[in-house]
Amino acid sequence: MSALSRRFSEQVSSPELAVFVSGVVSMGLEILAGRMVAPQFGSSIYTWGSIIGVFLAALSLGYYQGGKRASQRATEERLVRVLLATGGFVAVLILAGDMLLAGLSGFPLPPRFASLPAVTILFGPPTYLLGFISPYGAELSRKESTGAASGYVYAVGTIGSIVGAFGATFLLIPSLSVPLIGLVFGLLLVGTSLAILAPTFPRRTVLATVVVGALLVGAVAVPSAGYSVRGEVVHQTQTPYQELVVADLGDTRTLYLDGQPHSAMDLDDRNRHVFEYTRYFHLPFLLADWTNESTTAPHRSGDVDRVLFIGGGGFTGPKRFVNDYNATVDVVEIDPEVIRVAERHFGVEAGPNLNVYNAEGREFLRTTDETYDLIVLDAYKKDKVPFQLTTREFMQLTADRLDEDGILLANLISAPTGPASQFYRAEYKTLSRVYPQVYSFPTSGGSVVQNIEVVATKSDQRVSQTRLEARDERRDIGIGLSRELTNYQADVETGGVPVLTDDRAPVDALLEPMAGRRYVVSQTGPSGNATAGAG
Angle (CA) 293 295 298, round 5°: 140
Give me the pLDDT at residue 225, please: 47
Count of other CB atoms within 10 angstroms of residue 1: 5
| Residue-wise pLDDT tens digits, 354-412 | 999 999 999 999 999 999 999 999 998 877 789 999 999 999 999 999 999 999 999 99
Q: How far is CA 482 from CA 456, 461, 528, in A?
A: 20, 21, 11
Q: For 325, left (φ over 0), alpha (ψ -120 to 50), or beta? A: beta
Q: Please tell me the distance from the alpha carbon of residue 383 to that of residue 356, in angstroms, as a whole number.
A: 26
Name the pLDDT band for 11 (thresholds 50, 70, 90): low
Pairing verdict, β 306-310 and 260-266: unpaired
| Residue-wise pLDDT tens digits, 147-183 | 777 888 889 999 999 999 999 999 998 888 889 999 9
| DSSP state, residue 528 | S
Q: Say which amino acid occupies 19.
A: V
| Residue-wise pLDDT tens digits, 488-500 | 998 899 999 999 9
Name the pLDDT band for 293 (thresholds 50, 70, 90): low
Beta bridge partners of 233: 247
End-to-end CA distance of the chain: 50
Count of other CB atoms within 10 angstroms of residue 371: 13
Give me the pLDDT at residue 3, please: 54
Task: Please choose, from the candidates 374, 375, 376, 339, the residue with its C-alpha nearest in 3D space to the C-alpha of residue 359.
Answer: 339
pLDDT at 299 over 70: no
| Residue-wise pLDDT tens digits, 251-290 | 999 999 888 889 999 999 988 999 999 999 999 999 987 6
Count Cβ atoms within 10 A of the Cβ of residue 278 and give its class: 0-12 exposed, 13-18 middle, 19 or more buried: buried
What domains are defined for the chain? 2-223 (1.20.1250), 300-534 (3.40.50.150)
> Which three-class secondary structure string do you get for 440-483?
EEECCCCCCEEEEEEEEECCCCCCCHHHHHHHHHHCCCCCCCHH
Give me the pLDDT at residue 7, please: 52
By the 8 A CB rule, do 149 and 21 touch?
no
Q: Which residues contact 172 (CB under 8 A, 6 or more apart)?
A: 28, 181, 184, 238
Helices (H), 327-481: 336-345, 361-367, 392-400, 422-432, 465-474
- 199: preceding bond cis by omega (within 30 degrees): yes
Name the more confident of 512 and 164. 164
| DSSP state, residue 193 | H
| Residue-wise pLDDT tens digits, 14-47 | 888 999 999 999 999 999 999 888 877 877 788 8
Name the pLDDT band for 9 (thresholds 50, 70, 90): very low
Q: Please tell me the distance from the alpha carbon of residue 301 to that of residue 321, in angstroms, as a whole number.
A: 9
Name the pLDDT band for 528 (thresholds 50, 70, 90): low
What mean pLDDT is reported for the chain?
88
Q: Mean of the pLDDT values across residues 293-305? A: 57
Q: How far is C-alpha 374 from the chain's CA centre?
A: 26
| DSSP state, residue 12 | P
| DSSP state, residue 387 | G
pLDDT at 210 over 90: yes
Share of the chain above pLDDT 70, in %: 91
| DSSP state, residue 13 | P
